[in-house]
Amino acid sequence: MLQLMYITNRPEIARIAESAGVDRIFVDLEYIGKASRQGGMDTVQSQHTLDDVRTISEVIRTAELLVRVNPIHEATEEYCSSQEEIDTAIQNGADIIMLPYFKTLLEVKQFLSCVAGRAKTMLLVETPESVNIIDDILQLKGIDCVHIGINDLSIGYRKKFMFELLTDGTVERLCNKFREKGIPYGFGGIASLGKGALPAEMIIKEHYRLGSTCAILSRSFCDTTKNVDIHMVKNTFDHGIAQIRALEEECQMYRDYFMKNKIAVAEKVAAIVAAKE
């Protein structure tokens, strides 16, 4: 089953999401450069803080706490350095630290050095520059998982629709590279079934075809800025995730079928080759 992630800094929402089956609660600290590159777009630009990391860590029990920090940066008068930001996030309870919007190998090396094995690491591949050097990046030790951020990546490639990256082969090429290295990976976000310009069920099936292991539940899955009734929020999570898991059971059945066939073919070919020796 996909590891589902949901972005929130509200304890009551985190508890609802966790009880409904969300695997990772996502606190989003990123703000550096985000407004300028996503300006005018209908995207989420969170205003979470390091204190929110501690608050959420104190209320969740089974879900992992994922924290997206800022791109690698030095300290300013307004904000701490990457090292201090990552140190504090880990001290406050982060299980996974995500690095967004990197473009160079040096940035990834600095990130891995800052984390220093104290938490899991997740790279958010969302720039054309990071795609260009992905083979070098994947040679580094200490990368626990990778997520493809198709929204910013599609902006970088000047696409008209972010899911064009699914049809032009970009996501598939990256997934193949991650799989070859044995690194778990995911991409994009999903809405409730039946919703989204590209319906969520179609995206979920692509996750299974490509061997993805995780996905972000998008704002359209449950927009808590508009849906203020806590009982309706709970119902949305309970019902929506149950629907997703039911579809996943169907996807799993087909994936198992093809994997079993792949194994059977390999065994048969090996037997034929052995008989010819």
Tens-binned pLDDT, residue by residue, of the chain (277 aa): 999 999 999 999 999 999 999 999 999 999 998 766 665 555 556 789 999 999 999 999 999 999 999 999 999 988 999 999 999 999 999 999 999 999 999 999 999 999 999 999 999 999 999 999 999 999 999 999 999 999 999 999 999 999 999 999 999 999 999 999 999 999 999 999 998 888 999 999 999 999 999 999 998 899 888 767 899 999 999 999 999 999 999 998 888 877 787 788 778 878 877 887 6
| Long-range Cβ pairs for the range 235-238 (8 Å, 24+) | 236/192, 237/16, 237/17, 237/19, 237/20, 237/22, 238/20
Domain ranges of the chain: 3-276
| Alpha-carbon gap, residue 13 to 227, rounded angstroms | 11
Read off the tokens for 173.
Answer: 């090429």
* Burial class for 65, CB neighbours closer than 10 Å (0-12, 13-18, 19+): buried
Long-range contacts of 257-263 (CB under 8 A, 24+ apart): none
pLDDT in tens, 108-118: 999 999 999 99
Give the integer Cα–Cα distance in Å for 86 and 245: 33
- Which among 33, 94, 88, 100 has a CA at the least distance from the CA of 67? 94
Cα–Cα dist 261/202, whole Å: 23
**Residue 31, C-beta contacts closer than 8 angstroms, at least 6 positions apart:** 45, 46, 47, 70
Query: Whose CA is closest to 222, among 3, 8, 1, 61?
Result: 8
Please write the tens of the pLDDT for every residue from 229-265: 899 999 999 999 999 999 999 998 888 877 787 788 7
Torsion of CA 266, 269, 273, 276, to 10 degrees: 160
The CATH fold of domain 3-276 = TIM Barrel (3.20.20)
Which amino acid type is present at position 97?
Answer: I
Distance of alpha carbon 273 from alpha carbon 262, whole angstroms: 17
